[in-house]
Amino acid sequence: MKPVILLLPLLLSGLAISAPSLSQQLRARAEASSKKIPANVREEYAKGIQSVRDSKVTASAKQVGDKAPDFTLKNATGEDVTLSTLLKNGPVILTWYRGGWCPYCNIALNAMQEKLPEFKKAGATLVALTPELPDKSLETTEKHHLEFQVLTDLNHQVAKQYGLVFKLTPEVAAIYHDKFNLTEYNGKEAGDDSLPLAATYIINSDGSIKWAFLDADYRNRAEPDDIVKALAK
């Protein structure tokens, strides 16, 4: 009889070990953070999320079937990028992230990068929008080796057109100010009390919204596999 230890490689070779989904990665991050963040801060974050829910911003934002507002924004290297121009080549995936300071955003961006070949195979262009100033968005792009466009939505200009902007509670705004100071990332005109939802849209070539992910909880993000499935429909 062969020793068990010699049989293990044979057994494991027949098993497909899949990578964790984005939602699993985000959940693991949230669980790890909850052990490090003081209870009073966790409480304020929870109140902040509830405040976003109470604002009904997810219901008032652009929805499936709506016309997607066109826009022109600058990418991380200062070049103009126009939505309607991108749509001439096929559907566009628009995804918002809050900033390079947000660990959940960084996890989501990496997951999007991993799925980029599948998005391209489906004929879609992925574009990320952020309120970060160009210098900051360039840091994020280079840090994560992103191969898709990252556009600066200065002063939440486009996020407002899509109805995605919400106000932070004063308590959460104060916590953010002490930790990293939003105005250093987004500029003084954007203020330090507003952020966009971490929303994701698929825009059809005709400019209509085909698919949308809207959630009041910043820890939840569009699952890349769901985007691939939506593109295939």
The DSSP output letter for 207 is: S
Confidence of residue 4 (pLDDT cuts 50, 70, 90): very low
All structural domains of the chain, each given as residue ranges with its CATH number in brackets, are: 22-232 (3.40.30.10)
% of the chain exceeding 70 in pLDDT: 93
Map tokens 């566009």 to a residue. 92
Cβ atoms of 167 and 175 within 8 Å: the answer is: no
Instruction: Report the mean per-residue pLDDT for the chain.
Output: 91
pLDDT at position 92 is: 98
Render pLDDT for 118-128 as a digit per residue (tens, 0 to 9): 999 999 999 99
Encoded tokens for 218: 């910043």
Residue range 1-11: mean pLDDT, rounded? 42
Confidence of residue 142 (pLDDT cuts 50, 70, 90): confident
pLDDT at position 9 is: 43
Whole-angstrom distance between the N-terminal and C-terminal Cα of the chain?
A: 52
Encoded tokens for 154: 């200065």
3 has a pLDDT exceeding 70? no
Rounded-to-integer distance, Cα 67 and Cα 53, Å: 24
pLDDT at position 225 is: 97
pLDDT at position 11 is: 41
